[in-house]
Amino acid sequence: MRLETERLVLRLPDRDDLDGYAEVFGDPKVMKSLGSEPKTREETMTWIERKRWHWERYGIGLFSLIRKSDERLLGRAGFLMWDPERWISAMRADLEGELETEIGWTLGSEHWGHGYATEAAVACRDWALGELGLTRLVSVIAPGNIASIRVAEKIGETFEREDLPAPFPQRVDLYSLGNRPAR
């Protein structure tokens, strides 16, 4: 699976992405926004493997964002499945049943503020709503993460619900586009 925008190629994470992701996930500024501690190279490799499994298991997942001009890995954007009852993500468990599809984005801090996240998120949204035929996407965002909230708004998401009972160290709110199916 591969998407392309004006400045970026979006492709499946690869083991060769380790150096690029080790930089992104080793950066305390990035990880603080995610409510987490910097990851070691070993943890980063486990993350890459898990993301590859996520694509195989659910047919959707996170893309590596590669800048066309210099082939540098800038970060990730794409999808993560969630159990909407317990708010556990597919990074933590093999989920069954009706799931929510989260759209998310993370860039190395030196690449913030150039419109890359919005560019990638628009391509991901259009692919999910177009080719995949999804009618709803959600984003799980901490209330102080203004840049991430702006990206969510720019792709058409709006605030839906505050303070999810997700197993996170920080408060997170739910943004969405499309209606929640009746349960």
Ligand X SMILES: CC(C)(COP(=O)(O)OP(=O)(O)OC[C@H]1O[C@@H](n2cnc3c(N)ncnc32)[C@H](O)[C@@H]1OP(=O)(O)O)[C@@H](O)C(=O)NCCC(=O)NCCS
Closer CB to ligand X, 73 or 151, in the complex: 151
Q: How far is the CB of 62 from ligand X (least distance, A)?
A: 12
Helices 146-154, 116-129: inter-axial angle, 10-degree rounding: 40
Q: How far is the CB of 116 from ligand X (least distance, A)?
A: 4
Closer CB to ligand X, 19 or 181, in the complex: 19
8-state DSSP, 110: G
Closer CB to ligand X, 3 or 107, in the complex: 107
Q: How far is the CB of 131 from ligand X (least distance, A)?
A: 23
Q: How far is the CB of 158 from ligand X (least distance, A)?
A: 15
The β-bridge partners of 88 are 83
Cα four-point dihedral sign 102, 108, 109, 112: negative
Tokens (6 digits) for 87: 């708010």
- Give the residues lining the site for ligand X (CB under 6 A): 30, 33-34, 104-107, 112-118, 141, 145-148, 150-151
Tell how far CA 97 is from the center of its chain. 21
Closer CB to ligand X, 33 or 176, in the complex: 33
Task: Tell me the CA distances in angstroms from 24 to 1, 61, 81, 98, one per residue in order.
Answer: 22, 18, 22, 32
